[in-house]
Amino acid sequence: SQTIHQWPATLVQPVGSPLSLECTVEGTSNPNLYWYRQAAGRGLQLLFYSVGIGQISSEVPQNLSASRPQDRQFILSSKKLLLSDSGFYLCAWIGGRTNTGELFFGEGSRLTVL
Amino acid sequence: RKEVEQDPGPFNVPEGATVAFNCTYSNSASQSFFWYRQDCRKEPKLLMSVYSSGNEDGRFTAQLNRASQYISLLIRDSKLSDSATYLCVVLPYSSASKIIFGSGTRLSIRP
């Protein structure tokens, strides 16, 4: 069966500090991978998506970056966090060899920037 | 115009009521549509897909109107446990690459 792991679950970081969130998928291959951010009481904002190793499409952020060093690994990073980076970060995948059209989410990483 | 738009609500309805909300999309070439449910401080989970002919799953009915570019979700005989945020999702035609969520409609069922 397919699973998705995302960590850390919760973190509190000072402004200007670096960030690294990691997401791995198991049980499938060649998935499309996504990073979303959800501010408190708001919808999901698409940050990055990837259709293959090393292929990253950026939607919005200026101080965030993403990388896909392996087929089932997706990393979200920042060199210097801003207060506005606080939020609930969700990794998700779709496709692969068992594509049902459903987007599967990790349990999320809740980031508070102080 | 946003790519996917939803009425944010909140919809506050009594238990047993029928409630419906829509989601409009701007890309006429969009191919696949879904409704997700998100509980407070949790990740979204698939509620149901939306098929061209409309589909029903128990108390939930989803419909697609391609001419007017919207999808709808109808919940009959609402339960307290239906309280959540409902997100619509639109997938592009050519491939499931850029996936856009609506901002969500918050539903609260009162006893």
Burial (CB < 10 A; 0-12, 13-18, 19+), residue A77, is middle
**What is the share, in percent, of chain A residues with pLDDT greater than 70?**
93
Query: Residue B100's pLDDT band (boundaries 50, 70, 90)?
Result: confident
* pLDDT score of A67: 97
Q: Quote the CA–CA distance of B35 and B51 in Å, as a whole number.
A: 11
B37-47: average pLDDT: 93
B52-74 confidence digits (pLDDT tens): 888 999 999 999 999 999 999 99
8 Å CB contact of A46 and B100: yes
Cα–Cα nearest to B75, from B105, B40, B41, B52 = B105
Q: Quote the CA–CA distance of B21 and B35 in Å, as a whole number.
A: 11
What the block records as the tokens of A53 is 């190793």
Pairing of strands A10-13, A109-113: parallel
Query: Residue B95's pLDDT band (boundaries 50, 70, 90)?
Result: low
Q: Quote the CA–CA distance of B110 and B95 in Å, as a whole number.
A: 40
Neighbours of B93 (CB within 10 A): 10
Q: Quote the CA–CA distance of B36 and A67 in Å, as a whole number.
A: 27
B5 and chain A in contact, CB less than 8 A: no
B72-82 confidence digits (pLDDT tens): 999 999 999 99
B96 and chain A in contact, CB less than 8 A: yes
**Beta partners for residue A10, in sequence order:** A110
